Amino acid sequence: MLRELISKKDKKVEYIELIYDLIFVYIVGRNNALLHHTQGGYLTTGNLLAYIICTLAVIQIWNFTTYYINAYGRNSARDHTFLFINMFLMFFLAQGTRSDWHSYHTQYHVAWALILINIAVQHLIELRFHREEPYHRSRIIRISLILIGETALIIGAIFEHQMFATSYCSWAAIVFGIVGIALSGRKSCREVVDFEHLSERAMLYVVFTFGEMIIALASYFEEELTLNNLYFAGMAFLIVVGLFLSYGVFYDRILNRERKTNGLWYMFFHIFIIFALNNITVALEFMRDVSVDLMQKIIFMVISMLVYFGFLFATGGYAKRRCRLSSGFYMMMAAMGMVFSMLMIVLRYDMRANIALTVIYVFGVFFLLWRGSHKTKE
């Protein structure tokens, strides 16, 4: 079976997958809008928690779908039909993603549950094609049980909210999906996916997230064009460019896309890479917003940056043998992160200095990555 998986024809990213991803671009914008509502200069707890739930739920949906397409997708009419159904349901998720999220709680969770059921049904249909293949049957059943279990928690969250106005089951559903896949991965450590396709899909989602970040920067040009506004616009754009180039170095030069792996941890790391990029998008909008508390905006930017680079470096475990990141590199990155964090806090009263410092930090990391990736010949 392992030989069969290794020798099968490489899967290519299909147009339908790209169209599907465009729905997520729209929802990313809806999710980020949840953090645009502040009271007294601070994010409201309700909007912050709703943002975290909605963002992780959407990324998780994308992960489940991508894994199915990678392992069993045939670019068939059946696959397209299921994808289009989920695309339609995603609009209900987007509609329910707003500052008064609790008013749309039932609609959001019904759509969320139906999407996961849709993916579970796709897996269960696959069982009939693998009657004599216990390897695939075990894998399909494991993932289906995770999807069904998470769906049950989501349905429970609907009743919980209606009776107690709380969202503990929503959090439990997110955690159940993450932990379930992690535990499943320990049992499937010898399973092999088409990692080239999987890594390309993750890269495209990251690129679309950067696209949303660039769209958000348009707000810098909505006010009167002054030297101060132009300065912030230019610095914010440089930050986006530096973050994008750092990811590009990893994907193009360091990542071993021909590696035989189940890709589990690679996709797990990307949940937080994408989550951090969403946070950085909001943090960049906060930088020039005088109504947001200074310490809060600085902490938001610093933590988002550290999470992004931390999980990006974590993907170094999938590096080519000759491009493995050394312990010295990780120590250097840790030191740079600490210095960056301290200087950001010390200079918190000067946003112009802070955003310039962020540019220096981002391009400093990029330069070290670029230099390290060119030490060895391909």
CATH number, residue 315:
1.20.1410
- Pair (353, 292) in one structural domain: yes
Instruction: Report the distance separating Cα 309 and Cα 152, nearest Å.
Output: 35
Instruction: Report the distance separating Cα 189 and Cα 288, nearest Å.
Output: 46
Query: What token pair was written down for 270?
Result: 């990307």
* Model pLDDT, residue 46: 84
- Pair (347, 213) in one structural domain: yes
- The strand pairing partners of 39, in sequence order, are 42
**Structural domain ending residue among the three candidates 132, 160, 192:** 192
Give the N- to C-terminal CA distance of the chain in Å, as an integer.
Answer: 31
Which stretches of 127-263 are DSSP H helices?
134-164, 168-187, 195-216, 227-249
- Pair (144, 202) in one structural domain: no
- Pair (178, 198) in one structural domain: no
- Pair (48, 28) in one structural domain: yes
- Pair (241, 289) in one structural domain: yes
Cβ atoms of 48 and 278 closer than 8 Å? no
* Model pLDDT, residue 171: 95
* Model pLDDT, residue 185: 62
* Model pLDDT, residue 367: 94
The residue type found at 269 is: F
**Structural domain ending residue among the three candidates 161, 192, 223:** 192
* Model pLDDT, residue 294: 86
Buried b (16+ CB within 10 A) or exposed e, 86-121: bbebbebbbebbbeebeebbeebbbbbbbbbbbbbe
Contacts of the segment 162-169: beta carbons below 8 A, 24+ positions apart: 162/106, 165/102, 167/49, 167/53, 167/105
What angle is formed at CA 314 by the lines to CA 311 and CA 318, rounded to 5 degrees? 130
**Structural domain ending residue among the three candidates 143, 162, 192:** 192
Cβ atoms of 308 and 241 closer than 8 Å? no
Q: Total domain count for the chain?
A: 2
Residues, the chain, total?
Answer: 378
Mean pLDDT, the chain cut into blocks of 10 residues (378 residues total): 43 82 86 81 85 92 91 88 94 88 91 97 91 82 94 96 92 92 65 84 91 82 76 92 95 90 85 92 83 88 96 91 85 95 92 93 94 63
CA dihedral 245, 248, 253, 259 (to 10 degrees): 150
- Pair (267, 376) in one structural domain: yes
* Model pLDDT, residue 4: 41
* Model pLDDT, residue 189: 53
- Pair (177, 300) in one structural domain: no
- Pair (185, 43) in one structural domain: yes
* Model pLDDT, residue 341: 96
Query: Nearest Cα to 337, choosing from 315, 372, 370, 304?
Result: 304
* Model pLDDT, residue 1: 40
- Pair (249, 315) in one structural domain: yes
**Residue 198 CB-density burial (10 A; 0-12 exposed, 13-18 middle, 19+ buried):** buried
Instruction: Report the distance separating Cα 84 and Cα 22, nearest Å.
Output: 12
- Pair (124, 180) in one structural domain: yes
Instruction: Report the distance separating Cα 13 and Cα 114, nearest Å.
Output: 25
Cβ atoms of 67 and 143 closer than 8 Å? yes
Domain containing 80 equals 1-192
Helix (H) / strand (E) containing 39: strand 38-39
* Model pLDDT, residue 99: 79
- Pair (61, 142) in one structural domain: yes
